[in-house]
Amino acid sequence: MLSQFDPVRRRAKVDAEESDNGLHSWHLHVCSENNFPTAAGLASSAAGYACLVYTLAKLYGVKGDISSIARQGSGSACRSVLGGFVRWHKGCDPTGLDSVAQQIVPASHWPQLRILILVVNDRQKKISSTLGMQQSVKTSELLKYRVSHILPHRVDSIIKAIKERNFEMFAELTMKDSNQFHAMCLDTYPPALYMNDMSHSIVHLVHLLNSEKGRTK
């Protein structure tokens, strides 16, 4: 958690108009709660760290981008501080300073879109997201191919679908990317398994419904 406090305090000193207002000497107590399963695959760490960094930034009067600070706690947290549809830039700088999030469009851009979350297992994952990704980076050949050949044009396509509010394109790309992600998890050694039988049944049901409707519904 200190990885978020120190950068916010340093930024606050740079942004502050007065040299010292006493705020930097405060001792802070943080109490974090969430109303959905923790470490079960619903981005609890992203929500927690995004909320923490956003709150600290408000408290200390930090201006400008804070996504790079949130990213130090949880990679996905950098996207969560902005809202709407957000892109996380991987960056090129070894320090990670240019690995930041950028809002593509606000949530109001696509008010008809609805997201339904089906909690099929609220227990903690056997393999954490951090450990699973570290193992994939080390051992998955599919991950290397995915990063170099698939993701660049897929990111461009999904952004196009969002901006045009093209649901069929958006849904198909999302499903294909989910399939490939879990294939990468299987390609990891040892494999990182996140889907269960109920998950696969829901996927099958979605495809049956789409087949019945004759389009991606």
pLDDT tens-digit series, residues 203-216: 999 999 999 999 99
For 113, 119, 120, 161, 210, the CA distances from 217, given in Å and listed in that order, are: 12, 21, 22, 15, 6
Check if the beta carbon of residue 191 is closer than 8 Å to that of residue 185.
yes
pLDDT tens-digit series, residues 48-63: 889 999 999 998 888 8
pLDDT tens-digit series, residues 74-90: 888 899 999 899 999 98
Whether the pLDDT of residue 184 is over 80: the answer is: yes
